[in-house]
Every structure is written in C-alpha cells, then in structure tokens.
Structure 1
Amino acid sequence: MSTGRLTALVAEDEAPQRRALVEQLRAAWPELELVAVCEDGEAALDAVEEHRPAVAFLDIRMPGASGMDVARAVAAHGGMVVFTTAYDDYAVRAFEAGAADYLLKPVQPERLGQAVERLRQRLAERNGSPAADLQSLLEGLEARLRPRGEQLIRWITASVGESVRMIGIDEVLFFQAQDKYVRVATADGDAVIRTPLKELLMGLDPDTFWQVHRGAVVRVSAIDRLVRNELGRHSLRLKGHPEVLPVSGAFLHRFRGM
C-alpha cells in the first residue's frame, strides 16, 4: 500500500457511472489521489500491483476479473474496499460494519459521503489486521453471492446452423466469447448463443465452471493440465478435446497446487 499519500483506485465497466463516481469522489474527498481509473477487472488488477492503493472502489461484476478478484489483491496489500452494485443484495449490506462497504448504483452523493467518513475513520484507526479482516469478509460475501440451486442454468438453447439445439449444462465443456456470440463447446460439437459471457456467469455454478480468461469459462472437470510457454503465458489443455484455452494472469490463482 502506498505511504505518504492517500491513494485510491476506481474500477467500473460502465463509462457514465465511472465518470460520475470519479467526479463525486473528487468533491467528497479532495485530498484523495486517484492513481487509476479502470474499465475492467484485469486492468484494475494491474493497477493494484503497480500502485497498491489505500482504497479501492470496485464494481462487483466486471469483464475480466471480478470485483471480488480485485478486492483480494487490494486486501493482500492492506488496502480497503468499497463495492458498487446495482442490486440491493443482503449479502452486500452485511458488509456495512466490516472492512468493506458498498454503494448502490447510481451512487448518491450523500451515501458516498457516509462511505468516505467510514473510510477516514478506519484509515485513522488502522487497528488489528484490516487485510485479514477483509479476506475473511470476502470469503463470506462470495459464498452468499453464489447462485442457489433453483437459479442455476440447467439447459442452454443454442443455434447450430439453421437449427436450434437443447444442450444440457452437464454436456458443456467450455464457453468462449466470439464477437457478438458465445461459443458453447461440447464433446459432440459446437453451438452459439447470444447471451453475453458476463450474464451467463451469473447462472453457472462457480464450483463447476471457472472463468479463466476474459473470454473463456471452462468446466473444471474437463481441465487436463495448465501449461506455461517460453514467454511465460499460460493455457489449458482439456481432456479428450483438442482445444487450447488461454489463461490470463487475473485467474492464475485458481490453479495453485495443480
């Protein structure tokens, strides 16, 4: 975490809301130095490593790495987190008294002012282990945000040429973003859907499917091995399938111990 300066990072994938939050922050907390304003999770992860901000304002759901992934990196450097979300989720509200706070979108100046005051107080106290507290809170939040059984996707209605195919979720090996479509790969062939990968992720069991790249989500049981090439880039080999999927640095933590 930066010392001597009070630094912050903002990560929000929707441009109008990103601009509005930056303007409101500058008005509510003039001495706060915004060292990075990011439009996706991977850029935010890079910025956290470079700047180690004292505070991060993160959209929970972003392209690439999620706000949860970025929050873990912030916590590792002893920083504090404020999540932004479009949903008044009880799991997020449970964090009001902890090492993280939340703001409903569109962010209201009065509510931002309350969050700023809480952050000022926590930064002034700095008692205990805020990073450890935040890591613990993140684990609890992630568990609560996971979709419940009845909300999980069970069937995919996908296009195959001129026909429509019903694909059971158990058949899917991986999803891959391709232009305006998402490729659905199974052992019996491919199909395409129009549902954005970001939206699709919200209905997938996170213990069964892992996002490994901004444009790729893979069934964990289909993974054979993680490979690193001479340039230091990582990719996945799948069981019984010729496809090689790229793995970005934002998701390498999933493969520790493999």
Structure 2
Amino acid sequence: MKPLKTIIVDDEEFARSSLFFLLQQNCPQIEIIGIAKSVAEAKELLERNHVDVIFLDIAMPGTNGFELIPAATKQQAAVIFTTAYDQYAIRAIKANALDYLLKPIDIDELKEAVDKVEGYLERMAKQGEQDDRMINLGNALAKDAEISKITLPFGQGFKMISVNDILYIEADSNYSVVHLNSEEKITVSKVLREFEELLPSAQFLRVHKSTLVNLDYLVEYNNKNGLQILLKNGVSLNVSRRRATEFFEKIKSLTKP
C-alpha cells in the first residue's frame, strides 16, 4: 500500500512535535505532509492536498476539532482523535470515530491505531464506499445528547445500530455478543466493560459480571430461583448477588413518580 499521507492538527507545539516524532520513529507507513495549529490551517491543507489520515486534537482555542469533520468527510480522510477531552466526548469518540488516542500518547496504542486506519482505508478502497461515522459523531456532540448510535465492527465492515435496539450484551471471553430486538446477534471484539462505559448509564445496567441489560426492555423480576429478570422478548437473565443492591436502587429511581 502507498504511504498514508497524513496531517497533524493541534494547537499545542509540544503535542505537535512529540506526535510528529512518534510517527516518524514508529510508523513507516505514515507520510506527514503537513502540520496545523488550528482548524483553519488544517482546512487549507485539505484544500491543497490529498490527505488519507488526520490526527486531530479536539479542544483548541476559538474552534474545536469537530469543526474539521465536514472537510475530512468530503475528502474521505480517516480521523484519529488525539485528546485529553472530557468523558462525554470520549464516549462519543468510542462510539463513532475510527480511533482515538489519549494524551500522553502511548507508542503501542499509536501503532495499533495506524494499523487499524491502514486496514480501514484498504477496505473502503475496495468497497468504494464512504464512511459516515464522522458525520454521526459531529451531530451527536453538536446536539449535546446521549449517544444514540454505535458502530460495531464485524467481518470486513461495520454495522451502525441504534442503542435502543440493544436488548442486552453478554460477555464471551475477550468478545461481547450484542443481542438486538430483531433477534439478530452480533459478536464483536470488545470486552463488556467497554460497552458499560460507552452506553447511557440511565438506560443500561450491568446485572451480572457477564451481562449488561437495556432496562427499557425489563418487564419482570423475581426471586423464584435466585434473582432473575425477564425481558420483553421472553429472555430470562440472572442478576448476581453482588449487583442486586445496585439493581434495586436503579429500579427505584426508574419507578419514582
């Protein structure tokens, strides 16, 4: 594959120079063609050059990195966020961005992110499709709302699903099985903890070490054979003893007038 033409966008000089050095030393497939300290400078680079990858900071004076997303999408450039942003933004990034790196940047995580981008761009070139996850991400943050959709990698592509369509998620070693209300099951290479951190806590609750449930589908709970819950689709799930207190507190909060 040809070198990935890359730009770095960050308002902090140290962050720009350190990332430049890390990429030069550890990612031979990357060709850095420009460095910008603002969204405006980055837009100029995009207008003058073909860009495959953008390493993009979020919090910058005057503007934020998300304002570059429409220009990046137009050129079909992959975006990797480099950020020390707040928890809400991290959740949105996990849901929709190709990848993100928390500052200070870890070398191994950087290599993994670049490898992921390389594979992604190869797939997009073969399929001739444009990825709309950046648009979804920008819209989610602009509305200052909870995440409404997540992207699940499977096979040679990605599947966008609404969080409201998730019945429950069960752990399977280093994988998770996402059960949808359509009866479809999707196995993804994410541990359950990642979904627990990602999905809205008001809607999703860990009821067992291996189960995360969408409480919107809860219709019954009982103590016949240990604490169990029943979902609208007829599936019965166990609630572990150590999570029972949290479960009942959540139920109380949901049933308050």
Superposed counterparts of 1:101-120, under 5 Å: 101-120=99-118
Q: Give runs of aligned pairs for residues 1-258 of structure 1, distance below 5 A.
A: 5-96=3-94, 98-126=96-124, 127=127, 129-144=129-144
- Matched position secondary structure for 1:95: helix
Separation in structure 1 between the aligned mates of residue 145 and residue 34 of structure 2, nearest angstrom = 27
In structure 2, the residue corresponding to 1:46 is in which secondary structure?
A: helix
Aligned length: 144
CA-CA distance at 1:88 after TM superposition? 5.0
Q: Is the 8 A contact 1:28 1:113 kept in 2?
A: yes
Deviation at 1:145, TM superposition (A): 7.9
- For residues 40 and 62 of structure 2, the distance between their equivalents in structure 1, rounded to whole angstroms, comes to 6
Q: Does the 8 Å CA contact 2:59/2:85 hold for their aligned counterparts?
A: no
In 2, distance between residues paired with 1:137 and 1:18? 24
Q: Deviations over 1:17-38 (max 9, x none)?
A: 1111111112232121111111
DSSP 3-state at the match of 1:83: strand
Matched-pair identity in % = 32
Moved more, 14-23 or 88-97: 88-97
Does the residue aligned with 2:132 lie in a helix, a strand or coil? helix
| Structure ranking higher on relative contact order (CA contacts 8 Å, 6+ apart) | 1
Structure 1 pair 99–108 and aligned structure 2 pair: CA distance change class (3 A): same
SS in 2 for 1:33: strand
**Root mean square deviation of aligned Cα:** 2.5
Q: Against the structure 1 CA distance between its residues 138 and 129, is the aligned structure 2 distance closer, same or farther, given a 3 Å change threshold?
A: farther
Moved more, 7-16 or 104-113: 104-113
Does the aligned pair in 1 maintain the 2:7–2:35 contact within 8 Å?
A: yes
User: TM-score, normalised on structure 1?
Assistant: 0.50
Change (3 A) 1:99 1:105: closer
Determine which structure has the larger helix proportion and give its number: 2
SS of the residue aligned with 2:94?
Answer: coil
Q: Per-residue CA shift, 1:141-180, capped at 9, x if unaligned?
A: 333489xxxxxxxxxxxxxxxxxxxxxxxxxxxxxxxxxx
Deviations 1:108-151 (A, max 9, x none): 112212211211121121146334332122212333489xxxxx
Tell me, yes or no, if the aligned pair for 1:80 and 1:130 is still in contact at 8 Å. no
Change (3 A) 1:107 1:132: same
2:58 touches 2:85 (CA, 8 Å); kept in 1?
no
Name the aligned partner's letter for residue 89 of structure 2. Answer: A
Contact (CA 8 Å) 1:11, 1:37: kept in 2 or not?
Answer: yes
Letter in 2 for 1:101: D
Say which one has the larger Rg. 2
Q: What 5-or-longer segments of structure 2 have no aligned partner?
A: 147-257
TM-score of the superposed pair, with normalisation by structure 2: 0.50
After superposition, the Cα gap between the structure-2 partners of 1:143 and 1:111, relative to the gap in structure 1 and judged at 3 Å, is: farther
Change (3 A) 1:4 1:75: same
- Alpha carbons of structure 1 residues 46 and 112: separation in structure 2 relative to 1, 3 Å: same
Give the AA of the match of 1:133.
R
CA distance in 1, matches of 2:115, 2:4: 14
Cα contact 1:91–1:144 (8 A) shared by 2:
no
